[in-house]
């Protein structure tokens, strides 16, 4: 697989999006988010998504330059209509507004509807953590096609409905969680298929409801909920609550509409730490807590305990220094898009 520096990938992503009618500022935002996902080790939400986003722009499912409309608000709440714009652009602006309101009023929340894919969900709570706040984000796929079977079922009725929380601390890296309420993110199965790899048993059932290690059999089948075949009721409960907060509370609704248009709904919260405790003391104690966890004697066969977010921090440091590996299938798609746009030579994709 080719290994590419992050800045070059941002340049490629920005140029490909602009060649397909995306305004420069929006193209830069999308490229920054997808490459940051690669840096954090979440390749399923990285540049592999760019061809998909460009296709959605071409068919009119994502509208570059879409307005950011505040439908309803109070000093501590906001309802945002993204008007089918890029989720990265709309959601980032919505989180910034939520942080601004929390700065004045200690806590604020926001719902966002009618926007494209928001990518790696941790990106938005991390904005709050950088501002000295606890940030939370929950997302679902609105009424676009579903991928997860509820516990005990074999047909997809739920989205992967990820949940992310980030906390300010004195650690070198972020203290945060970000996970799908399915056994695995949909993109990780697609990534395995693109790389010709098998997937672990317990991620996917095929069209007959049988467990499979073949990622291609997700088509016609479904992802399992978090907890897998044994305790998937836990993931189903979390996913169902995600549908309530991000589908029903936002007004997107549940189920699937015929258009197949991806329309992420999001619920965002920012909590000002200093409304409860001095920020410096809180940051210090979160770091102390993380080290307390890491000092746990390792189990047999384990390399030790990591605090939430440490895996991503380690990946980011390594990939920033060494470059990011891109699977051949994705690299070929990027090269084909560059050739279509007449920019292959200047991007080194000729």
State the pLDDT at residue 262: 82
**178 and 128 in a common domain:** yes
- Asked whether the CA dihedral 316, 318, 320, 324 is positive or negative, the reply is negative
Answer whether residue 234 shows pLDDT above 90. yes
Nearest one of 21, 242, 19 to 111, comparing CA atoms: 242
Domain membership of residue 217 as a residue range: 184-223
Q: Are residues 202 and 260 in the same domain?
A: no
- pLDDT score at 30: 98
Domain check: are 93 and 168 in the same one?
yes
Q: How far apart are CA 66 and CA 91, in angstroms?
A: 12
Q: Is pLDDT of 202 > 80? A: yes
The domain tally of the chain equals 3
* pLDDT tens-digit series, residues 288-344: 999 999 999 999 999 999 999 999 999 999 999 999 999 898 999 999 999 999 999
pLDDT at 144: 85
Q: Are strands 264-272 and 222-223 parallel, antiparallel or unpaired?
A: unpaired
* pLDDT single digits (tens) 240-288: 999 999 999 999 999 888 777 888 899 999 999 999 999 999 999 999 9
Q: In which residue are the tokens 């992310």 written? A: 164
Model pLDDT for residues 29-59, shown as the tens digit of each residue: 999 999 999 999 999 899 999 999 999 999 9
Spatial CA neighbour of 243 closest among 96, 138, 335, 315: 138
- The stretch 4-14 carries a mean pLDDT of 96
Q: What local confidence, expressed as pLDDT, does residue 143 receive?
A: 87
Q: State the pLDDT at residue 49.
A: 95
Rounded Cα–Cα distance for residues 295 and 304 (Å):
8
Are the C-beta atoms of residues 73 and 79 closer than 8 Å to each other?
yes
The pLDDT-based confidence of 238 (bands split at 50, 70, 90) is very high
**Assigned domain for 41 exists:** yes
Q: How confident is the model at residue 191 (pLDDT cuts 50, 70, 90)?
A: confident
pLDDT of residue 259: 75
- Residue 315 in any domain: the answer is no
| Shared domain check, 245 and 304 | yes
Is the domain of 237 the same as that of 251? yes
218 and 73 assigned to the same domain: no
CATH number at residue 90: 3.30.1370.60
Task: Look over the chain and give the mean of its residue pLDDT values, rounded to a whole number.
Answer: 94
* 344 belongs to a structural domain: yes
pLDDT tens for residues 131-171?
999 999 999 988 888 999 999 988 999 999 999 999 999 99
Residue % of the chain over a pLDDT of 90: 85
pTM: predicted TM-score of the whole model, two decimal places = 0.93
- Three-class secondary structure assignment of the chain: CCEECHHHHHHHHHHHHHCCCCCHHHHHHHHHHHHHHHHCCCHHHCHHHHHHHHHHHHCCCCCCCCCCEEEEECCCEEEEEEEEECHHHHHHHHHHHHHHHHHHHCEEEEEEEEECCCCCCCHHHHHHHHCCEEEEEEEECCCCCCCECCCCCCCCCECCCCEEEEECCCCCCCEEEEECCECCCHHHHHHHHHCCCCCCCCCEECCCCCEECCHHHHCCCEECECCHHHHHHHHHHHHHHHHHHHHHCCCCCCCCCCCCCCCEEEEEEEEEHHHCCCHHHHHHHHHHHHHHHHCCCCCCCCCCCCCCCHHHHHHHHHHHHHCEECCHHHHHHHHHHHHHCCCHHHHCCC
CA-nearest of 153, 79, 83, 92 to 125 is 92
Task: Tell me if 314 is assigned to some domain.
Answer: no
If asked whether residues 171 and 193 sit together in one domain, one would say: no
Residues 41, 130, single domain; the answer is no
- Residue 197 belongs to domain with CATH number: 3.30.60.50
Distance CA 18, CA 111 (A): 29
Question: What pLDDT does residue 4 have?
Answer: 94
pLDDT at position 334: 95
Q: What angle do CA 132, 135, 140 make, to 5 degrees?
A: 160
Q: Indicate whether 271 and 141 sit together in one domain.
A: yes
- Do 43 and 73 belong to one domain? no
The model's pLDDT over 71-99, given as tens digits with 9 standing for 90+, comes to 999 999 999 999 999 999 999 999 999 99
**CB contact set of 60 (below 8 Å; sequence gap of 6+):** none
d(CA 78, CA 85): 17
User: Which of the four pLDDT bands, split at 50, 70 and 90, describes residue 1?
Assistant: confident
CATH number assigned to the domain comprising residue 33: 1.10.1530.10
Of 212, 171, 168, which Cα lies nearest the Cα of 192? 212
In a domain, 317, yes or no: no
Distance in angstroms between the alpha carbons of the first and the last residue of the chain: 17
Task: Tell whether 33 and 172 lie within a shared domain.
Answer: no
* Residues contacting residue 19 through CB under 8 Å, at least 6 positions apart: 337, 338, 340, 341, 342, 343
């Amino acid at each position: 697989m080719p290994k590419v520096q992050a800045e070059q990938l941002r340049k490629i992503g920005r140029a490909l999006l602009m060649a397909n009618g995306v305004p420069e500022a929006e193209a830069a935002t999308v490229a920054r988010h997808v490459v940051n996902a690669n840096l954090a080790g979440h390749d399923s939400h990285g540049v592999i998504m760019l061809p998909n986003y460009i296709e959605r722009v071409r068919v009119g499912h994502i509208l570059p330059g879409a307005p950011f409309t505040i439908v309803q608000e109070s000093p501590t709440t906001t309802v945002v209509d993204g008007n089918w714009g890029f989720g990265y652009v709309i959601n980032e602006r919505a989180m910034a507004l939520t942080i601004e309101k929390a700065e004045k009023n200690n806590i604020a929340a926001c719902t966002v509807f009618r926007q494209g894919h928001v990518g790696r969900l941790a990106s938005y709570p991390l904005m709050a953590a950088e501002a000295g706040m606890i940030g939370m984000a929950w997302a679902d796929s609105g009424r676009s096609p579903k991928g997860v079977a509820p516990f005990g079922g074999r047909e997809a009725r739920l989205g992967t409905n990820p949940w992310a929380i980030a906390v300010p601390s004195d650690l070198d890296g972020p203290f945060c969680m970000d996970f799908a309420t399915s056994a695995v993110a949909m993109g990780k199965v697609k990534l395995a298929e693109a790389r010709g790899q098998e997937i672990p048993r317990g991620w996917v059932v095929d069209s007959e409801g049988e467990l499979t290690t073949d990622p291609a059999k997700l088509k016609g089948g479904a992802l399992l909920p978090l907890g897998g075949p044994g305790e998937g009721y836990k993931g189903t409960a979390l996913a169902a609550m995600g549908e309530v907060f991000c589908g029903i509370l936002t007004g997107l609704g549940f189920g699937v509409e015929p258009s197949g248009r991806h329309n992420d709904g999001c619920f965002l919260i920012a909590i000002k730490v200093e409304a409860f405790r001095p920020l410096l003391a809180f940051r210090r104690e979160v770091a102390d807590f993380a080290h307390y966890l890491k000092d746990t004697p390792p189990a047999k066969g384990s390399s030790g305990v990591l605090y939430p977010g440490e895996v991503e921090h380690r990946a980011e440091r390594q990939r920033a220094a060494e470059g990011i590996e891109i699977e051949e299938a994705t690299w070929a798609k990027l090269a084909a898009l560059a050739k279509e746009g007449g920019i292959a030579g200047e991007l080194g994709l000729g």
